[in-house]
A and B are shown apart, each in its own frame.
Chain A
Amino acid sequence: AQSVTQLGSHVSVSEGALVLLRCNYSSSVPPYLFWYVQYPNQGLQLLLKYTTGATLVKGINGFEAEFKKSETSFHLTKPSAHMSDAAEYFCAASLYGNKLVFGAGTILRVKS
């Protein structure tokens, strides 16, 4: 069965520092991959997705992610953290059909 692992349930960075949130998937066939963000007591908002083509994907709010098949990874990065980036981030994968498998989430804290 396909699974998604997010390394680090909590990540803390200083404002202006690099944000790196890690995601690995387990599948012999590369799935479609998504990153979502969730603010407290709200639903999930799509940040970016990888389907096919370019392995570096740019999303909203300055985030980007790189698909690396050899490492089965899809890490999320942002060059400079902003206070408004504090939220929970979820990596998700789909193989066939519309069902998504989610990672456990990473809570990002941004220190001033």
Chain B
Amino acid sequence: DGGITQSPKYLFRKEGQNVTLSCEQNLNHDAMYWYRQDPGQGLRLIYYSQIVNDFQKGDIAEGYSVSREKKESFPLTVTSAQKNPTAFYLCASSIAEIRGLQPQHFGDGTRLSIL
């Protein structure tokens, strides 16, 4: 079945440590996204990519980095510069379409906590 796989499901980070969250999709979608979810705040966009080797900052990119070397993969690194990384992270993908009418498909998320 086609879908989006996020791993790991739970991740713990020590102070000063960088951690990388994996996101892989087999939907043949060009566009991929990373969101951060905190209780009562909805989803906030961290980074997005419309095509391989290109990505743009979202609303809360500080302390995060991404790469898009393959169409299927869009890993997110939470760096030590992100002072409050505890959250639920969701990866999504969609058909890239300028009018914005294509829905996004989501993975099951990674819950990141600080040790």
Contact = CB atoms under 8 A, between A and B. Distances in A.
Best-surrounded residue of A32, A95, A100, A104 (most CB of chain B within 10 A): A100
B92 to A, nearest CB: 8
Contacts of A100: 43, 45, 104
A97 B42 CA distance: 20
- Chain B interface residue bracket vs A: 20 to 34
A90 B100 CA distance: 17
Contacts of A43: 4, 6, 90, 92, 106-109
Given A42-B109, A43-B107, A98-B97, A103 B42 contact: yes
Contact of A41 (B44, B99, B106, B109): B109
Interface string B68-109: 000000000000000000000010101011111111111111
Nearest to A31: B100
B109 to A, nearest CB: 6
A18 to B, nearest CB: 24
Interface of A: 9, 31-32, 34, 36, 41-46, 49, 51, 90, 94-100, 102-105
Interface of B: 4, 6, 31, 33, 40-45, 48, 50, 58, 90, 92, 94, 96-109, 111
